[in-house]
Structure 1
Amino acid sequence: MSASDSAHGRLDETLSSEAHTFTVASAQFRLDPQHVFAQYPADGASGDFGTVLPHIALSAPTLPWERDPGGAGNEQIPWLALLVVRPEEDLRADPSTGAWISARPVTDLTSGSHSQDQVALPALSTSDADEGGSCQTADVRRGAVSALLASREELPYLAHVRRVRDDAEPKEHPDHAVPWQVGHYSVLLSNRIPHVRGSYTALLVSLAGHGGNDYLGGSNVTSALVAVRFVVLASWSFTTTETGGTFGDVAAGVARNSRATPMLRYVPAKQAGSSEDAQAVGTRLANGYVPLTHRLHGGEETVCWYRGPLTPVAADSPLPAGSAAGPASWLSADSALIYLTQYGVFDISYSAAFCLGSALALANPQLSAALARFRAQGIRTAQQASAGIQASPEDRVRTLLKELKPEKITSMLKELQNNGAAKAEATPPVPDAATTDEQVKQALTRLADKHRPLVRAAGLDVLSLLEQVPFHYLVPEPAMLEPEQLRYFHVDAHWLDALVAGAAGSGVGTPGELALVRRLLTPQASPKGGILLRSKLLARWPDATTQVIPGSAKALREFRLGPDVLLALYDGLPSGLVVQEPPHRMHFGLDGTLDDDEGGRIDLRNSDGTPVSTPFTNVKDCLRSATDHGSGQVLDFSKLVAALGSALAADVSPATVALQLMNLPLKVTFGKKTS
């Protein structure tokens, strides 16, 4: 390039001209990390990637085509490829460092030699080393190159450009932690499905200088060499920990297993019979009860009925026959027992709840202390009120303001102002028994109103207590909720009341203290229904989101009772549940595993994105032949493209391949049938 200029002024001089030569070239030995916009699976991720084709997205849309790999043919193929390797099997460690990926001077790759120490080198010229410095390289075993590297004919289908429009990303389900910006991105796919458990490393390698070698259709024979050296522009690692179906496959299994018995109840394998007693037992089981062994105070063992707070039918209101007046009047767990006189057995449901509530409160130091403070202050307040002594000046002013009319207060204030001082207060009359009792009630009511928010914050909250209830209290029979099942339930408000009453009564020693703590037991907003889900959906996709079918109920709280168990509570009985796959980054892959009956499935789409009615199955027929490297995991894209063309009855381009393999977050709806 040459440039010249002149300046006109007082000197009227012409500036000297000067020529410079420069070259416009894309990155070859190093890639700016800022160009890497997204990669899937993420670096360090662990999970089920048995249907995934790993990919990398670059913010430079033309980068994969800015260089030529070289070799025969005039077709435009990308000079970048994404290799997914298992280092111990597919890479040759650096003899000097033992590292799988090592730094080398760029000049080591431009010596003009085709190989070094039985390792094939890229055919790069001296001018290619102008950047200087070092680069990252990996020596891939020669057998792994044949097994894993796409052929010259396949490479164009493994790279495409993604265009992002203003309306391309749904706002509620972005596919990247940092939303895609409007513009263009280049995307490179791997041809290896990491189906086998283990650790994998994804390598973005340069093919520049490799086009003349036999593994890319060139004439330079490398089959006798040990390895091939590639420049590595980016790399990351991930682990496949479990393979057992896609999100949709697992969700379909949950739907199948939950269809026969949607409500939470125990259904024995063998029915009891047709007698009156057998029918009574069947009714109990249908209502959510299970028979348990009950040890009496004398040591004898008998049979009892138990039902937790989660029931298949709405709980009786008022309390069932044989029960005491209610949780507020229960002095102990025994007073909450329900005796079924017809059969001579106990229903221990509310007794167990009362006892559990007491144990949970004693295990909570903050709640125990808050209740103890309330009881101590309540006793002092009752003593002071019964003696006619107000607890504090503030209480006295508050009482006077309640008793006096506004005009009387104004008159008294004027009188005080005119006299300049308050008149001596007359000695109050000695209250009678009725007046004293009313004063005590009012004082204790005010005290309870003051302490109620404090003790609830400390743990006397129905949802907080319910979250601590052991699983076997909620689901007393394992067969009520087996793996890969969804169950709906009502919530027994009496059971929750007994739980709270037991917690409030922990540490109570006298009937007077019990009467005092009852003042804390005002109605709380309790759930009316909910859902229990036990499935690998939760363990394998821990970030999956759940919500009820819109309009059916309002969510109150969700608890994870274990890695694979979800308890969701609502203000009513939901009509269904929607489970959404995590809003992860967009990824590519199959829609069914290679091991299923369909042999790997791809749900086809038309060019406008609408689904094709018939999916493409038996993807396993498009795998490369088994080798020591990537056995049964590497897709032959030449076969895949031909098969997709036949299935779609259309020409297949790289964009078509990307459209068919693209996977977005899946949403599954479970509907409840009437039981």
Structure 2
Amino acid sequence: MPDQQGDGPLPSGVIQLYDNYLPSLEPGSYDVAVTCGMTGVDTGDYFQPVTQGFEVRAPQFFLDARDVGEMYPPSDSNGEYGSVLPSLVLNQRVLPWERLAGDGQPKTVPWLALLTLGPDDVVMDSGAGPTGLRTSTVAQFLTPEDGVVKPAIDPPGVDPDVLAATMQSILLPTATFQALAPRLDELRYLTHVRQTDTAAQADSNGADDGWYAIVWSNRFPDSSLVNGAGTRNLACLVSLEGLTSYLPSAPSQEQEQQPAGIQLAVLTSWTFVSNPAAAENFADLVEGFVTQESGDPDNLLPRIPLPDNPPASAALDRLRQGYLPLTFHTPVGEQTFAWYRGPFTPTVAQPLPNPSRSGTADDGAHWRSSSQVTIYLPDQGVFDHSYAAAFETGRSIALSDRAFALALLNARRHAYTQLARIGDRLSTGRFDAAPLSELTDRHTHRRQFAAHVNAGLGDDLRQTFARLPGGTTTPRTPRPDRRRPDPVEETRALLGRDDVREMLAQQVSDRLDQVTDWLAELALLHNVPFNHLVPDARLLPVESIRFFHIDQSWIDVLLDGALSIAVHSSRDAALQAAWRAPLLAAVQAKTGQVRARRRRRPDLAVPTAGDPAPASAGLLIRSALIAGWPGLVVDADDGATAILRMDILSPDVLLVLFDAVPQTVSLSEPWHGLRFGVEDGDVIQLRKPDGTPLGQTFPATGGFSQYLRAPEGQPAERVIDLDQLVTALGQTPVGDSIGPALLATQMVQAPERLTFAPATTLGGADQ
């Protein structure tokens, strides 16, 4: 790694590879000694040295699940992987070099490796599970066994908590291990670091967003067909700490007598089936979204499947608009059905009428209850509860969040205190011409009295008090005969003043910042139950993608429902009406900052102030694609249309919201999880260090299989001889200084990218 790296994320589509990322300190115990003194002064032994101990820890026998990212081939997948080298993304870029592989080994040699194992490679006995993995405590794993080599790690040197923890291990025959494991001088080539841009991906789990360590295997999977099915392979990330003396040596060296088996600590593992006849790779899964729907674009919209050539009816129109008939229990106990549609619609939704009772435009008008947005269809005799459900959903979510409710209530109390103070002073008749700042200031009376004294009235007051006889009571100054209006009418009158409205608008930014942050997340449907968004599984079947518009009226009613928790009287409703316009303006402006704040990436902020509404369209994917490629890259109009939200809601469901209706949407394999292997024709494409193709394939003749350790049928079949490969690549235009990053550049397979667009956009047949 270079000493100096560029600040901030990389531009979209750019990826940088580095040989390694070395930690500053190795695991162990350290002491920091601090001494203090004064120049030119003899302090004797007054200043004593102070020593503080600390410990640096690193994973050793197991990994935190958050440190493990994408794996390829995907876990539990079934695909054509015979030309692919399994690989694993680690979310901690320093992890492969946090420990030393062995005493005297350089820091650039990683302490772990990724092994690809076939069904016959693992010792299967009573202590092994279905895949050959063994579960035990760390202490049990380190306990010596006859005929089994274990890592040269002294148990007393391991923390007691770690010794008692549960881990997994695997037992391999020594001959198998030495046939499959990389040689000591090959280890460094199988691990490198990548920096990529993650703006078009869901949230990153890495400690440093955009930085990852990549470990790849030196062995191709077993793709043998058994009874028409493929072969299940096991990929294991194993620790080589304390085992370097048992790694295979160069072919010319003679091997000494070795024990029967070697037991390795397994940090993480997964299985996959390599089947030449299967079709479960990235391209097949994405193309399946369209082929499953018979290539009809209308079938990619969120609505339940309709029968062929159905008779025209009002119910059919509703189904085409994305509505569902759901069971409805009336207040009197009858059971019928009502229409429901969530915020995701197949067509542009008709906006709700203005909630003002007068029917005139009113920026402060708001929905006060779910009854107001319950729609009755008299021609069908059926209710539409879509917006009523949205109101109650917003209300329920707000009531469940104590911090939001208290912030909203406290802001209302402060506003009422200000309005009461203004009303009290206006009722005296002495502040009619006073500016609002004097009406709201607690010390206005004191300042007015001081002003009278400073104006020269002080002597007259003293003379007047001096002439008063003892015990005389000064008559009270008469006040203007003015009756205090009804509190509700007084509040409405005050809220009708422009200066009072400006004061309340200022309070939105001063006191309602927490409220508007919360509402901005709600406007992007965070915390909304998924069955309110997709009420029926038929709207999002397995292995499908659905594109949708967003019903902004549904979002508006959702927000009104959340704000209704503090509306209990007509006075509350009046304040809510005065607050609504500046409140929603602040929410709309913050909607584009939600993803940036959650990702801690200010560069992801999107300008959303003004019209149109922030979130206009989006997509949902339910597929094995999400589990297999959690770093899936999604971009709209080549990045011109911004992403407001992109979240993996479950292992196989992805939600993306855009700030406009895109013309094209592309799905790409994650850049930080690029797969390794050979291309069609048993060759690789040579590239310059900057990734530019050289226009040449390697090898020129004979195929890539000539760089395997042993021919087919031998124990080491499908294992790359990296020493031989690196030497041969050094004689090509790639250059002779080949390190881990440059080797990875040559072995990377071209990533898949598929685009959804109207036929007129891409040209030719339907896309």
Distance apart, 1:474 and its partner CA: 0.9
CA distance in 2, matches of 1:159, 1:654: 17
SS in 2 for 1:464: helix
Greater Cα shift, 238-247 or 327-336: 238-247
In the superposition, relative to structure 1, how do residues 146 and 370 fare at CA in structure 2: closer, same or farther (>3 Å)?
A: closer
Question: Which residue is equivalent to 2:85?
Answer: 52
Which residue of the partner structure matches residue 7 of structure 1?
none
SS at structure 2 position matched to 1:266: coil
Alignment-mate amino acid for residue 353 of structure 1 = A
- How far apart, CA to CA, are the structure 2 residues paired with 1:528 and 1:537? 25
1:325-364 correspondence runs (5 A): 328-364=365-401
For the 8 Å contact 1:482–1:534, the answer to whether it is kept is yes
Contact 2:179–2:248, Cα closer than 8 Å, also in 1: no
Which of 148, 168, 171 aligns to 2:180? It is: 148
1:273 deviation in Å? 1.8
CA distance in 2, matches of 1:347, 1:286: 15
1:449 counterpart letter in structure 2: A
Q: Does 2:718 align with 1:635?
A: yes
Q: Does 1:441 align with 2:496?
A: yes
Equivalent pair of 1:358/1:504 in contact (CA under 8 Å): yes
Kindly report which structure 2 residues correspond to 1:450-489, keeping only aligned pairs within 5 A, or say none.
450-453=506-509, 454-455=511-512, 457-458=514-515, 461-464=519-522, 466-489=525-548
Give the distance between the partners of 1:160 and 1:52, measured in 2 at CA. 16
Query: Could you report, residue by residue, the CA deviation over 1:457-482 in whole angstroms, capped at 9, with x for unpaired residues?
Result: 23661433521111111112212222
Residue pair 1:532, 1:566 contacting (<8 A) in 2 also: yes
Matched, 1:662 2:747: yes
Q: How far apart, CA to CA, are the structure 1 residues paired with 2:676 and 2:299?
A: 34
* Counterpart residue number, 1:289: 323
Instruction: Give the equivalent residue in structure 1 for 2:627.
Output: 539
| SS of structure 2 residue aligned to 1:489 | strand
CA contact (8 A) 1:361 1:503 kept: yes
Matched with 1:605 is 685
1:395 offset after TM fit, Å? Answer: 12
Counterpart amino acid of 1:535? S
Percent sequence identity over aligned pairs: 21
What's 1:430 paired with?
482
Instruction: State how far apart, in whole Å, the 1-side matches of 2:267 and 2:642 are.
Output: 41
Cα pair distance change 1:227/1:429, threshold 3 Å? same
Cα displacement (A) at 1:451: 4.7
Contact 2:85/2:217 (CA < 8 Å) preserved in 1? Answer: no
Task: Give distance in 2, aligned partners of 1:55 and 1:557.
Answer: 27
- The answer to whether the 8 A contact 2:219-2:719 is kept is yes
Secondary structure (helix, strand or coil) at the match of 1:560 reads: strand
Q: Give the Å deviation of 1:236.
A: 7.4
Counterparts of 1:91 and 1:288 in 2: how far apart (Å)? 48
Deviations along 1:251-297, one digit per CA (max 9) or x if unpaired, are 4444655753475321425247233x2xx333222222222222211
SS in 1 for 2:635: strand
* RMSD of aligned residue pairs (Cα, Å): 6.2
User: Shift of the alpha carbon at 1:140?
Assistant: 6.2
Amino acid at match of 1:285: L
Change (3 A) 1:615 1:286: farther
Report Cα offsets for 1:300-357 as digits up to 9, x if no partner: 1222211111112222135399x99699453321221111121111111111111111
- SS of the counterpart of 2:558? helix
| 1:545-594 Cα shifts (integer Å, max 9, x gaps) | 44333354223233432233232222211233344544437763367xxx
Residue 667 of structure 1: how far off its partner (Å):
5.8
Residue 662 (structure 2) aligned to one of 557, 574, 584: 574
The aligned runs of 1:146-185 (5 Å cut-off) are 148=180, 172=197
Out of 219, 230, 233, the residue aligned to residue 191 of structure 1 is: 219
Whether the aligned pair in 1 keeps the contact of 2:618 and 2:655 (CA below 8 Å) is yes
The aligned amino acid for 2:269 is T
CA distance in structure 2 between the aligned counterparts of 1:537 and 1:91, rounded to whole angstroms: 27
Q: Which has the larger radius of gyration?
A: 1
- Please, which moves more after superposition, 256-265 or 483-492? 256-265
TM-score (norm 2): 0.53
- Checking the alignment, whether the CA contact within 8 Å between 1:198 and 1:239 is kept in structure 2 is yes
Cα distance in 1 for residues equivalent to 2:394 and 2:539: 24
Paired residue type of 1:519: A
Q: Distance in 1 between matches of 2:683 and 2:358?
A: 60
1:538–1:369 distance in 2 versus 1, CA, 3 Å: same
Superposition deviation, residue 91 in structure 1 = 12
- Alignment of 1:103 with 2:157, yes or no, is no
**Correspondence for 2:270:** 240
Contact preservation (8 Å) 1:485, 1:534: yes
Contact 1:91 1:141 in 2 (8 A): no
Structure 1: gaps spanning 5 or more residues:
1-31, 35-41, 60-80, 106-137, 181-186, 403-412, 592-599
Q: Decide whether aligned partners of structure 1 residues 490 and 418 sit closer, same or farther in structure 2, where only a CA change above 3 A counts.
A: same
Work out the CA distance in 1 between the residues paired with 2:353 and 2:532.
20
CA drift of 1:666 comes to 3.3
What residue number does 1:68 align with? none
Match of 2:16 in 1: none
Q: Which residue of 2 aligns with 1:123?
A: none
**1:314 aligned onto 2:348:** yes
User: Which one-letter code corresponds to 2:508 in the other structure?
Assistant: R
Residue 673 (str. 1) matches residue 761 (str. 2): no
Deviates more, 1:481-490 or 1:574-583: 574-583
- Looking at structure 2, the residues matched to 104 and 372 of structure 1 have their Cα atoms a distance apart, in angstroms, of 60
Residue 549 of structure 2 corresponds to which residue in structure 1? 490
* Residue identity in the other structure for 1:445: R
Q: Secondary structure at the residue paired with 1:196? A: strand
Q: Which amino acid aligns with 1:345?
A: V
TM alignment of 1:64-75, pairs within 5 A: none
Pair 1:202–1:396, CA change in 2 (3 A): farther
Kept in 2: contact 1:266–1:286 (CA 8 A): yes
| 1:576 partner amino acid | T
Q: CA deviation at 1:498?
A: 0.9
Tell me the SS of whatever aligns to 1:355. helix
Structure 2: gaps of 5 or more residues? 1-24, 28-61, 74-83, 98-112, 125-131, 135-140, 155-169, 200-205, 223-231, 275-279, 440-449, 462-476, 589-612, 760-765
Q: Distance in 1 between matches of 2:207 and 2:246?
A: 31
The structural deviation recorded for 1:143 is: 4.9
For the residues of structure 2 that align with 1:295 and 1:572, how far apart are their CA atoms? 38
CA drift at 1:499:
0.9
Are the structure 2 counterparts of residues 373 and 97 from structure 1 closer, same or farther at C-alpha, using a change threshold of 3 Å?
Answer: same
Question: Does the Cα contact within 8 Å between 1:309 and 1:496 map onto a contact in 2?
Answer: yes
| Preserved CA contact (<8 Å) 2:116 2:233 | no
TM-score (norm 1): 0.59
CA gap of 1:417–1:272, structure 2 versus 1, over 3 A, is farther
Q: Quick one: which of 301, 323, 332 aligns to 1:264?
A: 301
Is this contact kept in 2: 1:265–1:289, CA < 8 A? no
Structure 1 Cα separation of the partners of residues 496 and 668 of structure 2: 53
Work out whether 1:517 is the aligned partner of 2:559: no
| Alpha-carbon distance change, 304 to 144 in structure 1, aligned in 2, over 3 angstroms | same
Distance in 1 separating the partners of 2:247 and 2:407: 73
Contact 1:605-1:612 within 8 A present in 2 as well: yes
For residues 361 and 218 of structure 1, the distance between their equivalents in structure 2, rounded to whole angstroms, comes to 71
User: Given the alignment of the two structures, is residue 506 of structure 1 paired with residue 565 of structure 2, yes or no?
Assistant: yes
Is the Cα–Cα contact under 8 Å of residues 262 and 486 in structure 1 kept in the other structure?
no
CA distance in 2, matches of 1:619, 1:302: 68
Give secondary structure in 2 for the equivalent of 1:467. coil
Distance of aligned partners of 1:54 and 1:372 in 2 relative to their CA distance in 1, 3 Å threshold: closer
